Amino acid sequence: MTGIFVAYNQAYYDEIILLLEKHGTRGYTCWTEISGRGSDKGEPHLGTHTWPTFNDALITFVEDDNVDAIMDSLHKLDCISEELGLRAFAWKIDKTV
């Protein structure tokens, strides 16, 4: 099993949920209206007068054979509008309860 954490501009929410469903991923936990600034490209999303937008984030756990397809789809989505900001991280899960 692999965990995938995605931080993204809140404008991406519907697209990311549809992307996960397309890959057979039903379960996730989402955090809304979080602030942050990417390390590479894009504008800060701080919820301030100067930088009024926010980010959202979600975490999901998927079978290992689905990881590459999901990560590739997330990368393609990010490439469409890099300035919006989308980052995804995957790591192996040793145990679940």
How many structural domains comprise the chain? 1
> Band of the pLDDT at 41, cuts 50, 70, 90?
low
pLDDT digits (tens, 9 = 90+) for 24-37: 999 999 999 998 88
Q: Establish if 71 belongs to a structural domain.
A: yes
The CATH number given to whatever domain includes residue 52 is 3.30.70.120
pLDDT digits (tens, 9 = 90+) for 80-89: 988 788 999 9
Q: Establish if 60 belongs to a structural domain.
A: yes
Q: Establish if 9 belongs to a structural domain.
A: yes
Q: Establish if 97 belongs to a structural domain.
A: no
Structural domain boundaries, residue 13: 2-92
pLDDT, mean of residues 58-78: 97
Long-range contacts of 61-64 (CB under 8 A, 24+ apart): 61/1, 61/2, 61/3, 61/4, 61/27, 61/93, 61/96, 62/1, 62/2, 62/4, 62/23, 62/25, 63/1, 63/2, 64/1, 64/2, 64/92
Entry pTM: 0.89
